[in-house]
Amino acid sequence: MRLIFVPMNRITFHSEGYRVPRLKKHDLKRWLIEIAQNHDKQIVRLAYNFCTDTELLKINQEFLRHDTLTDIITFDYSNQHLLEGEIFISHERLVENANYFQQEFTHEFLRILVHGLLHLIGFQDKTKKLKEEMRQKENEAIQHFFTILAENKSVKKR
């Protein structure tokens, strides 16, 4: 794997007022950068914005002309292998999906973060087959995150 220097401050999380897992932002950013690099991409700028169902519905109506609730909207400003985007996530959908799919909140949080990134990388989920591929990539990425956490713990114990 080749390493590309990406300033960590190029990835931002706007979650004021919303419950998010107590994960170190450094670990999340490292994880997202590594996922992009594993697909020969580099993150230039990536903003995660948490909002309400109502706010995300307005964005969906105004920019995508869809009149439905959704859990995530990804705006892709990427240029070939340089990833740039804004990702809007409904906190209410995130909590509801964790309950519906009987997942820990942290697990569903990681899934939605990487889901948006995978869209920027080029993965789609419009068909059943594409959804299955997306889910497989999400699962692999989540496993990778927990590998990073385990590596961090082993380094601290030395």
> In percent, how much of the chain has pLDDT > 70?
91
Name the pairing type of β-strands 72-76 and 82-90.
antiparallel
Predicted structure pTM score: 0.90
The string of DSSP letters for 133-150 reads HHHHHHHHHHHHHHHHHH
pLDDT tier for residue 5 given thresholds of 50, 70 and 90: low
Asked if residues 157 and 51 have their Cβ atoms less than 8 Å apart, the reply is: no
- Give every CB contact of residue 118 below 8 A, 6+ residues apart in sequence: 35, 134, 137, 138, 141
Q: What does the pLDDT look like over 127-153, one tens digit per residue? A: 999 999 999 999 999 999 999 988 877
**pLDDT level of residue 84 (50, 70, 90 thresholds):** very high
User: Residue 17 and residue 95: Cα distance in Å, rounded?
Assistant: 14
Mean pLDDT of 71-99: 97
CA pair distance 55, 26, nearest whole angstrom: 28
In the chain, the domains with their CATH numbers are 9-151 (3.40.390.30)
16 band by pLDDT with thresholds 50, 70 and 90 = confident
Residue 158 confidence (pLDDT) = 43
Question: In the 3-class helix/strand/coil scheme, how is 16-80 assigned residue by residue?
Answer: CCCCCCCCCHHHHHHHHHHHHHHCCCEEEEEEEEEECHHHHHHHHHHHHCCCCCCCEEEEECCEC
The pLDDT of residue 155 is above 60: no
